[in-house]
Amino acid sequence: MVIAANSRRQLKFVGCRALKILNNWTTSHSLSISMEKTKVLLMFKTAKLKRSPYFSLGGNRISSVKVLKILGLTIDSNLTWVHHARTLSRLLHDLAFKLLSISRTGWGVSGQNMKTWYLTVAERIIVYAAPVWAYKLNSHTIRILRSIQRSFAIRSTRANRHVSADAVLQLAGLVPIELVLYKEYILGSLFRLKSQVTVNNMVYSPSMVDLPESRWFIAPYEFTVLKRIILENQDLPVNYLSYFTNGSKSEDGVGSAFCVFRADLCIHTWKFKLKNHNTFSRLRLLPFYRH
């Protein structure tokens, strides 16, 4: 439950009213809420409150905390995300220790395997929910995240621990984690959140990029032979046919075209204008379907 207000009195009034509605609903449905897991996190945009408001649910007081973990994110009252970076550091160091302890019976984990494990597991854990928290990182958070990446880079390159972070990342061939997070923030904002993103003083909107096509775009029962392309090796005759396709997407619109050549002679042309939501993949495949 998220509640916003401009003053302590208004915050208490809105919060108590919302909690009363929640309590009535749970009581009418014979449900109960665990008070041990129910916490209050106050987030301040400017100055902090001198005294926290009192909240209760069903006559039980809800305790207030400064750090709250929800859906894998560790949120603090100031939204600095330092606690979240520290949580990631402890988690990934424990996972790396368990991985190394399992491989001690052999010759250990090779550098290439450690790099692969970092890119496929550790880095994916770090960038989880990046569009929510990676839009603005302070220097302290970046240092913690860089220390995580540096430890994996040292293990993958077998470098000395006194090597700097920039040098060992170059040796391991890894992109700095703050750049990876910034990339995930941009892609997640455009493709998932469907919101605008400002990059180098330029504003990008979801309508300016090709969104990934859903795997359920065509239902299985509608997937007929005409929607497939089958390529088979065959001997071409002397006067064989050649097909050339093209598709373009610009501010003027979206179009697709193709032409047919018999040897060096053009015998047929076709062009068509599509709707703006079409992607480049559809522009390339449509001529085959039309022909």
With cut-offs at 50, 70 and 90, classify the pLDDT of residue 124. Answer: very high
The reported pLDDT for the residue numbered 190 is 84
The reported pLDDT for the residue numbered 158 is 86
Residue spans of beta strands (DSSP E) within 30-113:
40-41, 56-57, 60-61, 64-65, 67-70, 73-76
The reported pLDDT for the residue numbered 253 is 77
Q: What is the pLDDT of residues 102-112, one digit of tens each?
A: 776 556 678 88
Which whole number is the average pLDDT over 101-125?
A: 81
Cα dihedral across residues 284, 285, 290, 291: positive or negative: positive
Distance (Å, whole) CA 261 – CA 267: 6
Which whole number is the average pLDDT over 18-31?
A: 87
The reported pLDDT for the residue numbered 289 is 61
User: Percent of the chain scored above 90 by pLDDT?
Assistant: 13
Q: What is the pLDDT of residues 44-90, one digit of tens each?
A: 766 677 777 888 888 888 888 888 888 888 988 888 899 999 999 99
Residue 147 has pLDDT above 80, yes or no: yes
Distance (Å, whole) CA 132 – CA 122: 19
